[in-house]
Amino acid sequence: MRRPGLRLLTVALALAGAALLTGCGEQKTDETATDDKGSGPRPHSTPHIPSPRGSSPAPGRDPERGQDQLPVPSLVGQTSTPDPKLPAPVVNMDIAHDSETKGRTVNLTIDDGPDPVWTPKILKILRDNDAKAVFCMVGPQAEAHPDLVQRVVAEGHRLCDHSVAHDTGMDHRSRDYQKDQILRAAAQIEKASGGVKPLYYRAPGGAFTPYSRQIAAAAGMRPVGWNVDSKDFELPGAEAILRTVKGKLANGPTVLFHDGGGDRSQTAAAMKKLLPWLSGKGYAFSFPVR
C-alpha cells in the first residue's frame, strides 16, 4: 500500500515540472518595429504589456552604462513599457500630441532649421502675433547657426532634437545608429544654444521606434509627433497650406511646419495669415505636453 506522504510528494514534483515547462517560452520582440509615425491623435501604436499599477521592472544590469540598473520610475500617464535593460526615461516616452495647456490651443512646431533666410522670417511672424513655437532642429544646422539657436531661446521658444542626418528611414537602422543620431544632435543643439537643452525629440518623418523613444526620454526629451501636417514641404502654395491646416485642426493641436530644407516663402506667407486667424477664433498658443 502506497503511503499518503509519498503520493503527495509525487504530485508536487509533477506540478513543479509542468510549471517549468510553461515558463520557458520567450516573447519575441521586433527590434525595428515602428510606432505610429508621429501623426494622429493616438499617443502611439506600439503594443505593450502594462506593468501592475505602481510597480517597476526589477533591477538588472545595464550593459551600456556598466552599472546596476535601478528600477524604471513610474511616470504619470505613461502607457509605454520601458525596457529595463536601457537607461530609464526621466520624461514620458509616449509620443506627445496634446498641449500642456488645457482648452482651445495650438502647438506650432517648425522643423529642419535653423535656416539663415527663413528662420528669422518665421521668428518675426511669431513675435508679431505673440505666438510661441517648438523648433525641431537638425544638429549640423544648429551647429552652423548658433546665433539663430540662441535667438530662438531668447524669444521664448523651445528646442527640439530632429537628429543629425534627417534620415527618415532611421527606424530600420541599428540601435547604435539611432542612439548616435539622437544624442549627437542633442549635444550639437545644446552647445549652439549656449547650454540650453532640447526638451523634445522628433524623429525625421516620424520614424520612431520604442528604442529611440526611450533613449530620447532618458536624455530628458519627450518624443513629439503631430496632429496636423501642413504639407508645406510639398510647396502647394500659401493658400493651400492655409486650407490644409484650417481643415485639419479638429485632429488635434500640434501642427507641423518647416523653416528649413528649401524655399519656405509659402510657409511664411501661410503663417502670416494663419496666426491672426487662430487668435481671432479663440485659440491660444501652447507647447506640446512633456
Catalytic: which of 98, 111, 115, 161?
Answer: 111
The answer to whether residue 145 is catalytic is no
pTM for this entry: 0.78
- DSSP reduced 3-state for 211: helix
pLDDT of residue 134: 98
pLDDT of residue 37: 59
How far is Cα 196 from Cα 252, in angstroms, rounded to an integer? 28
Q: What is the pLDDT of residues 132-162, one digit of tens each?
A: 999 999 999 999 999 999 999 999 999 999 9
How far is Cα 280 from Cα 123, in angstroms, rounded to an integer? 20
pLDDT of residue 136: 98
Catalytic: which of 44, 97, 162, 258?
Answer: 258
Contacts of residue 201, defined as CB under 8 A and 6 or more positions apart, other chains included, come to 160, 161, 162, 182, 186, 212, 213, 216, 219, 221, 222, 223, 224
Question: Could you say which residues of the chain have pLDDT below 70?
Answer: 1-37, 40-74
pLDDT of residue 171: 98
Q: What separation in angstroms does the CA of 55 have from each of 51, 58, 61, 81, 92?
A: 6, 9, 18, 11, 16
pLDDT of residue 36: 47
Contacts of residue 70, defined as CB under 8 A and 6 or more positions apart, other chains included, come to 59, 88
The answer to whether residue 258 is catalytic is yes
pLDDT of residue 51: 32
How far is Cα 193 from Cα 189, in angstroms, rounded to an integer? 6
